[in-house]
Structure 1
Amino acid sequence: MKVMENCYREYYYTYYGAHNGWIDNATDEQKVAWRLKKLTNIWLMFGDKLHDVIKKTIKNKHNLNITPNYLKEYMRKVLNHGVKESLEKYRDGVWDDYPRGEMLQEYYYGDKLDEESVNEVKRRIELCIDGFFNSKSYKDILKEKSILLEVDEGNFDYIFIHGVKVFALIDMLYINEDGYYVITDWKTGKIGEHDREQLLVYVIYVMEKYNVSLDKIKGRVEYLLLGESADYTFNEEDLVNINNRIELDLNVIDAFLIDKKLNQPRDKEYFRKCDSLNKCKKCRFKKLCINEEVF
């Protein structure tokens, strides 16, 4: 629901307007929306690369050659490659022909990366890698009695809540030496008000998949940039609250549909644009909003 909190029109393009944009007989707007949907930005790219680095490190946790300095250099290398690739695509204009690989929206829209952003990325590489190696969760899984269950598996496991498929993409799940199932969520940015709530969806998934009781599950958010962590336990009231929240979100989504069974949305104009110029500047779909009269 985060996208809908930002802008209803962005939600439309993300989940409806871009659908089938890859097929030959798609409308011009569908094709453009699909290409724009596949754009990323430097902060999303940073988070994706760091999560991938963490995943590989955990799966090779006994490899003594994987040091903080090694990972920092690797992060700089893959991010530089992503920026270089985006610059080349911007110069060649190939992204609008067919989107392949990665493309930073900063380059797609001709803005490039300013010096402040570059310096901030460099700072985050240092702090987040150090934060990972010093994190409670990483130290936990190095212990002999800890059992690693899942590490950002990418197999799109899901549960059904109120008859709707809800995906549970856990960053890491392990059993600690005290026998608790610990759900770990790596965060590369600031503390968010919905961080604990997000864990609750994973709690339901763990209870169902591993047939484990609620009192044997713990959650932890590792704020790598800050070098801090937040540990949580959960109770039955939490489960009631998250189920109610999901039901409310689903009702909001249904209000934008003409046909729920076919997942057919209302007209685009029903999805109101946000009135925040700052959000619009950062939106990957701003090209469509600016040039709406063309379609």
Structure 2
Amino acid sequence: MSATTTTRLVEHVQRLGEEHPPLRLDDVDFTVRDPRTFEQRYGHVLDYMARVELEVDRNVLELTTMLPEPPEVDVFFYRDVWQPQEIQHGRILDELQVRLGRSNADADLDSVGAKLKVLGALAHLGAFQDVVRMLYYVTGMATERSAVLAYNLLHDGVREMGETAIADTVIAPIKRQEPGHYAFYQLSARGLWAELAPWQRWLVRLLRRISFSPVGANNPQQLADFGDVMRTLHIDEDSDFAAQIARVEMELLWARDKGLPVPPYVTAAFREALELARARAAAA
């Protein structure tokens, strides 16, 4: 990655840390006017989001496994800015759902899958580590863009219910911190993609196509849970949600596929999530 891009990334991460310190529980107003209705409508959404945010501890373990020699700016970002911010997001959302009478999120904080360990072993080869880094960046883009869009929809829905304390002191502060994470991944992805050899780009496309899943969906049950979140936030097959989260990924990885708005593997994953959620609801 060029020195100019690296400098821009370092400056960006420094600004994120200075302008967006981790949120504090003491600054949150957990007042809910209608707890029962709020929990029934959004309880499962809070649980899903809290789990995903809290699992950043595991995500960092995965990163250190996949990337044995990451660039210093990547470590600066995920260790000093991203992880502390996301952990607090999870703690706040989890505290809210507990106050609504729900159980704490069942977050997996320390499991690292065998596939990631294999990637980490191969990443000791410098050229392959660049492939893994690119996968990390495009995954980060999709994850953070999903978060931005979902928090916007949740914020609107919560305000429509009249739950202004939650909208203003829980959802709004969290959603303000997510775009900076997305910007880091996007700048990193653009910088690295320009330097990859044709065979590396081919391998990135292949691995991305076979490994994509919506954020936080690591098994069929979680994929159905994600589908439930989509349904509650009114994200369906006709929504442009998938196109928005995959826009830069489409531009970089699949620029040759003109006229295709969303990579087919993204569309398929979102469709499957909705189908699983609907099937589970019908069987209940």
Higher strand share: 1
Higher RCO, 1 or 2 (CA under 8 Å, sep at least 6)?
2
Rg (Cα) greater in structure: 1
TM over 0.5: no
Using the size of structure 2 for normalisation, the TM-score is: 0.32
Using the size of structure 1 for normalisation, the TM-score is: 0.31
